[in-house]
Amino acid sequence: MVLGRELKLTERSPEMCSNTKFDYNSSKYGFEVNPEKHELQCVSETYLKKSPDALVRDGDFIFADTSEDIDGSGNFSQVQGDSRVFAGYHTVIARPALDVNKRFLAYVCDSLSYRLQIRSKVKGVKVYSITQSILKKTFVWIPRLPEQETIAVYLDRKTAQIDQAITVKEKQITLLKERRQVLIQNAVTRGIDPNATMRDSGVPWIGEIPKHWSVKRAKYLFNEIDERSKDGQEELLSVSHMTGVTPRSEKNVTMFMAEDYTGSKTCQKGDLVFNIMWTWMGALGVADRTGIVSSSYGIFRQQLSETLNSDYLEYLLKTTHYIREKS
């Protein structure tokens, strides 16, 4: 393949829609991009004069020149259709230089065997750079043209079937997540006895609760805690909306690690821990062990340990209604 220059376009003008610009986003476009199917940014005719090297053709490859993780190294989209499209920021254009089936070549570049060539060459810690030099050093395998065409047609059919199945499963997962959230919301605010007598909680966003339940302000149940580690030897914990309070060692992260955690905030088993920056997403949880947490986290401890069960408390505070109200 012939590689185009690394593109860094600066002008953005939505005046005309006879030209469009493709800013790479693998999660949005993926394997291919087609202006007739995908919504792209409209740009001015001046792009034809100012950035002629950014103009791509049907079958061209647009590689992202950076990736936030090693698995994303080599992400690309292949241009489909005859519309005039310009490659956007931080991309490298690759154009097939041989008489090959372009669709087959796209599947080769999307294969694990090809991707591993790029992964073995990229460098970086938080961001991995994919350069023209790296792409030029990769190898592709080219069977005879009729076989390329047969393979491309076969993969188009099979991958379309799989994509359709994925779409169905994703819809099912979305519905199951909604059902799960409703189940939790109803259980923590209404209980699991369908025959329980209900009363107004007095709090609009809570609604009705079982008659024998009580409603109290959190300030009468919790004290904010600011205890510090003397030697920094406790286990390092983190808080996320997905996993709650978990050991950092169990998470696949590349965040900066301090050399010494002496003086860091500590929490105890049963403490309620908030990631203040991401509370609006539900980044909170109840610690199941003693550990060190970020100094920017909020830590709250029950005044009376028998008041709230820790598991129930975490379910309660992660309900959509509570997060929406308190964020």
pLDDT of residue 176: 96
Mean pLDDT within 141-151: 95
Question: If residue 237 lies in a helix (H) or strand (E), which one and from where to where?
Answer: strand 237-240
CB 213, CB 192: distance < 8 Å: no
Beta bridge partners of 6: 92
pLDDT at 148 over 80: yes
Question: Is 287's pLDDT higher than 50?
Answer: yes
Distance of alpha carbon 320 from alpha carbon 205, whole angstroms = 10
Which whole-number Å values give the CA distances from 326 to 178, 205, 227, 277, in the listed order?
A: 20, 11, 25, 13
Lowest mean pLDDT among 155-164, 196-205, 207-216, 258-267: 258-267
- Cα 236 to its chain centre, rounded Å, is 23
Above 90 in pLDDT, residue 118? yes
Contacts of 282 (CB under 8 A, 6+ apart): 241, 318, 323
- The pLDDT assigned to 21 comes to 57
pLDDT for residue 296: 83
Confidence (pLDDT) at 143 = 93
pLDDT tens digits, residue range 225-242?
999 998 888 889 988 877
> pLDDT (tens digit, 9 = 90+) per residue, 264-279?
899 999 899 988 887 7
Task: Report the candidate in 110, 111, 99, 176 with the shortest Cα–Cα distance to residue 142.
Answer: 99
Going by pLDDT thresholds of 50, 70 and 90, the confidence category of residue 9 is: very low
29, pLDDT greater than 60: yes
Return d(Cα 21, Cα 32) in angstroms, integer: 14
